[in-house]
Amino acid sequence: MPILTTSGLCLLKAGKHVDIAFRNASGSELLNQMISGAEAQFSVSSGYDFVGNYSSLNSRTRAILDEGVSSLVATQLIAYDMAQYTSRVEAESMINIHNTIYETDLKLLKEKNKTDFILRGSSQ
């Protein structure tokens, strides 16, 4: 079960051309697995278990995690079947945008002074 983001946001970010298989009930389990994998990747890459400690996070941190994890999943959804998009260039541009968002959010969470602010509400 996803913790850091929602399947709806992932689908929204992937755009209206995302493969129909992810939009129906049978694709929801696969989508949830993709989200769980992205959540794990985010936690391991940042060096902090955001999923296990979600209840102690402030709203700003939750928003960064929601944005980053959903963007990572969106890249996977787009890459799954780029033929559905109006062009490969469109799909690749969307992937590049979401990769930038993911990398920026991960960088924010990894920087020590930002991490202190995220976890405690202050950088001191």
CB-based contact 102:68 (threshold 8 Å): yes
In Å, what is the CA distance from 11 to each residue of 23, 35, 72, 76? 8, 11, 11, 11
State the pTM of this model. Answer: 0.89
- Percentage of the residues of the chain whose pLDDT score is greater than 90: 68
With CA atoms as reference, report the closest residue to 45 among 68, 63, 67. 68
CA neighbours closer than 13 Å in the CB half-sphere of residue 67? 16
What is the band of 122 on the pLDDT scale with cuts at 50, 70, 90?
Answer: low
3-state secondary structure of 46: helix
Map out the domains of the chain as residue ranges: 7-120
- Cα dist from 67 to 42, 77, 95, 112, whole Å: 11, 15, 14, 20
pLDDT over 70 (residue 116)? no
